[in-house]
Amino acid sequence: MDFILILLAAFGAGLLNTIAGGGTFLTFPALVFIGVPPVIANATSAVAVFPGYLGGALGFRDELKTFDKKVILRLIAITIAGGLIGSVLLLVSSNKAFSVVVPFLLLGATLAFLFGDQIRARAAAAGGAVTPYGSIGLLLVSIYGGYFNGGLGIVLLALFALWGMTHIHKMNGLKNGLSFVLSISSVLVFAIGGLVEWHYALAMMVASTIGGYAGAPLARRLPKSFVRGLIAAVGFSMSVVFFARLI
C-alpha cells in the first residue's frame, strides 16, 4: 500500500509539475505519511520528481527553442549555483527545524503563484517591472528550490510573471527546464549526503517521468484559470496539513 500511494503521488506530481508546478505538494506529504523523516522525505521527493521535469521540458521543446541560447545558458548557470547552495543548507538542517519551516514555505509558494500577476502589475506601476531574466531573483528562487523543492515550479512561474512574461506555455517550458537542471545539482548533493531513500525514489522517478511527459499536451488544453485554481487548492491544503502537524 505504501508503494501504491507514493507511485500515485509521483505520477500526479509529474502531471502537476508540467502543467504549472507544485508536484512536490503531493510527493513530500506522501513520503512523510508513510513514515519517512521530513528532511529525508524532502530529499527523496526531490530525487523522485526530477526526471519528470525533463519529460515536461521535452514536451515544451518547441516553446524552449524560442528563447535566446545565451540567455538560457546564463539562467542555467545561476540556477545550478543556487541549487547547490540550497541543497547544502538542507544537509545541515535538523528534522525538527525543517518541520517548522515547511508550512511557511508551502504557504509562501502558493501565495507567490496566486498573486504573481498582481505583484508584477504593482511593480510596473511603481516604476517598471523587475528586470527580465534578472540574476538575483533567480538565484534566490534556486536557493529555495535546492533547500525545499516543494512549490518550486510555482515560485518560478511567479518570478517569470515579475519578469514580464505572459505566454503560459513558454513559462512552463522554461520552468521545467530550469527545474530539471536545479534538481540535478540537488540530487548529487543529497546522494553524497546520504539523504535519499533510494528504494522509494527510483520507483517514484519512473512514475513522475511518465506523468511529466503526459502533462504537456494536457497543459495546452486546460484554461489558465483552472490551472491556477488547482494549484492554489493543493498548495493551501498542504499548508493547512503541515501547520496542523506543528500543533
Listed by start position, the domains of the chain span 2-246
Q: Which of 38-47, 55-64, 86-95, 222-231 has the lowest mean pLDDT?
A: 222-231
CB 159 within 8 A of CB 99: no
Chain center to CA of 80: 14
The pLDDT of residue 114 is above 70 = yes
The pLDDT of residue 188 is above 80 = yes
The pLDDT of residue 158 is above 80 = no
pTM to 2 decimal places: 0.79
Residue-level pLDDT at 60: 79
The pLDDT of residue 146 is above 60 = yes
- Nearest CA-CA partner of 182 in 77, 91, 58: 77
- State how far the Cα of 126 lies from the Cα of 31, in Å rounded to an integer: 43
Mean pLDDT across 34-57 = 84
Q: Reduced to 3 states, what is the DSSP secondary structure of residue 195?
A: coil
Residue-level pLDDT at 189: 92
